[in-house]
Amino acid sequence: MTTMTMTDKTIFERRESEARSYCRSFPNVFSSARNAVLRDESGRDYIDFLAGCSSLNYGHNDPDMKAALVDYITSDGVTHGLDMHTSSKSAFLKAFEEIILEPRGLDYKVQFTGPTGANAVEAAMKLARKVTGRTNIISFTNGFHGVTMGALAATGNGYHRGGASAPLSNVQRVPFDAYHGDEIDTAQMLEKMLDDPSSGIDTPAAIMLETVQGEGGLNAASAEWVKRIEEIARAHGALLIIDDIQAGCGRTGAFFSFEEMGVSPDIVTMAKSFSGFGLPFAAVLIKPEHDIWGPAEHNGTFRGNNHAFVTARVALEKFWKDGAFQQEVQAKGDYLKQRLEAIADMVPGARLKGRGMMRGVDVGTGEVAGEICKRCFQQGLIIETSGAHDEVVKILAPLTIEQDLLAKGLDILEAAVAEKFSAHKMAAE
């Protein structure tokens, strides 16, 4: 029997930057993981409702992706090849074309950027400016697109913007769907502003949005609103960029979060679960007519992670060859909604947020949401908050989570909420 040496945790405080974050909420030392369970060094299991912030839609260490990757490494497959042709890249592109693009009638060129979501967003914004010769990009309240300077300019979050310590420019922000409540049509507001040459909004190179704002509080745009935004973009010669980094790869049910909305974005950004296995991997999907980059114009040393090509291909072959997985995700999403409705009923004024397997409950304040998540962690559930005030308890379980584990995690959440609100409930009775 092997005995695990317990890590001396002072190393993290002594040597790791103050920028560290999730490890402050979940300070255990984790040593292994399988599908929706993370195990710490003491052998305690935690149900993972964070899933690498939607980077692990297919769970931790999927056995088929792992086997393909181990085979690839064992046979000396190319690990780093800059952006040279490799057999793993060609196999991935072929699978992406056959399994994702062609059945959906989509025609995109694939640009592999540096491996983070922010890098894909930077590339998308630069390309839209290059295509249109304009500088302004419209983004939305509570949107989150990354923290490098260009992407951060499009990000709404005040805390992250504050970290820039320099002007964030060339982006104008307008209200997202239902930002002012259901009665105010924010698409109409944007249309009027763009139609008015004296509104002060510069004609944009692009309008960029998330269909479900992940970090911004699980605000789900309606299909009608997204369609209207597309029409407005077209009317003003601007490109439509959909940032599908968090909502894509099945998180809302379909592979792309927009594919059932009847829109045709000019540019789509992908990262997080795109590798399937949690490996760093990002890409920009570009309508061919807009692919006007010169060679290496947006370059980077780590463009196209060959290990990720292997696992991403297996993910497509395993989960997206037919509609079974999408149906399974939709069924789990319905179950999640139903359970969250019951949980929200316990919280005065609570609201359900999100769609598919990207849902949560707005419990009113960040303090309450934080307390609930803390109680959950004590009971063996890893779960985080999102939203402008961290007021939304957010569930991002792996899409592959076993039904009984999903139920068990939700039981823990329900108990934590009940414990917090039992006093209030008793008073009301």
Ligand X SMILES: Cc1ncc(COP(=O)(O)O)c(C=O)c1O
Q: Which residues bind ligand X (CB under 6 A)?
A: 53, 116-118, 121, 144-146, 210, 214-215, 243, 245-246, 271
Helices then strands, counting H and E runs in the chain, come out as 14, 17
Query: Count of residues for the chain?
Result: 429
Q: Shortest Cβ distance from residue 283 to ligand X (Å)?
A: 12
Cβ 173 to ligand X, closest distance in Å? 15
Give the SS3 label for residue 60: strand
Q: What's the angle, vertex CA 302, arms to CA 149 and CA 298, rounded to 5?
A: 50
Q: Smallest distance from the beta carbon of 200 to ligand X, in angstroms?
A: 27
Based on the number of CB atoms within 10 Å of its own CB, is 348 exposed (0-12), middle (13-18) or buried (19 or more)?
A: exposed
| Complex with ligand X: residue 253 or 280, whichever CB lies closer | 280
Nearer to ligand X, 125 or 350 (CB): 125
CB atoms within 10 A of CB 16: 10
Minimum CB separation of residue 214 from ligand X in Å reads 4
User: Could you tell me the smallest distance in angstroms from the CB atom of residue 250 to ligand X?
Assistant: 15
How far is 86 from 83, CA to CA, in rounded Å?
8
Amino acid at 161: R
CB of 144 to ligand X, least distance (A): 5
- Do the strands 392-395 and 384-386 form a parallel or antiparallel pair, or are they unpaired? antiparallel
Q: How far is the CB of 117 from ligand X (least distance, A)?
A: 2
For residues 145 and 242, give the distance between their C-alpha atoms in angstroms, rounded to a whole number. 11
Question: What distance in Å separates the CA atoms of residue 46 and residue 382, rounded to the nearest whole number?
Answer: 6
Indicate the residue among 204 and 214 with the shorter CB distance to ligand X: 214
Contact 391, 363 (CB under 8 A): yes
Structure-block tokens of residue 284: 């920009």
Helices (H), 200-357: 223-235, 306-319, 324-345
The C-alpha atoms of residue 48 and residue 269 are separated, in whole angstroms, by: 25
Name the residue number minimizing CB distance to ligand X.
117
- Start-to-end CA span in the chain (Å): 55
- CB of residue 145 to ligand X, shortest distance in Å: 5
Tell me how far, at minimum, the Cβ of 69 lies from ligand X, in Å.
Answer: 20
Nearer to ligand X, 50 or 344 (CB): 50
CB 203 within 8 A of CB 241: no
Look up residue 293 and give its two tokens: 């980059």
Distance (Å, whole) CA 147 – CA 136: 18
Please give the Cα distance from 308 to 93 (Å, whole number). Answer: 12
DSSP string, 129-189: HHHHS---EEEETT----SSHHHHHH---HHHHHTT-S---SEEEEPPTTTT-TTS-HHHH
Q: How far is the CB of 234 from ligand X (least distance, A)?
A: 23
* Residue 349, number of CB atoms within 10 A of its CB: 8
The nearest distance, CB 100 to ligand X, in angstroms, is 19
